[in-house]
Amino acid sequence: MAAAIAGGRPAATDADDDSFDDLASLGGTVGEAIAAFKERQAAVPPEEAIEVWEENEMVIRWFLAVMTQWRRAANGLPTGLDYSGCREVAQMLFQLTAIPAEMFAGLQVMELAYVQRRVELYSAQQPGRIDR
């Protein structure tokens, strides 16, 4: 799912980072962003659809809510999430006092997939600027 979210744009910069437009266009709520994603997926042929399993929904909600917490390289590409900001978001969103290890691991899986996809898209647009 993270790669699908990242796949919509050729390159990210601080000035034009709209990697998940639904948050702003739908009023900014994570629930609405997930609903919009599910609605878009309903129109996708079954062989291309991304199914969100119930046991993963909490991590996906968290990931979508922390899309403003990216640390970036000089070229604007995300290098990883700011975990202190992610912790604050999880505490507010889920009223958690501590982040379960399994939940954090899930966020890291999505983080890595997102970063890898953004680098792939950037590399395709900027040949020779990033080692493949």
Query: How does pLDDT run across 3-62, given as a tens digit for each residue?
Result: 666 665 433 333 334 444 444 444 566 677 777 777 776 777 777 777 788 999 999 999
- Residue 95's domain spans which residues? 2-125
Give the separation between CA 103 and CA 35, rounded to whole angstroms: 21
Q: How much is the mean pLDDT over the chain? A: 78
pLDDT higher than 50, residue 118: yes
Beta strands in 3-42 (DSSP E): none
What domain count does the chain have?
1
Percent of the chain with pLDDT over 70: 71
Question: What is the three-class DSSP state of 80?
Answer: strand
130 found inside a domain = no
pTM for this model (two decimals): 0.65
For residue 89, give the nearest of 107, 109, 116 by alpha carbon. 107
49 found inside a domain = yes
131 found inside a domain = no
pLDDT at residue number 116: 94
Give the separation between CA 120 and CA 68, rounded to whole angstroms: 21
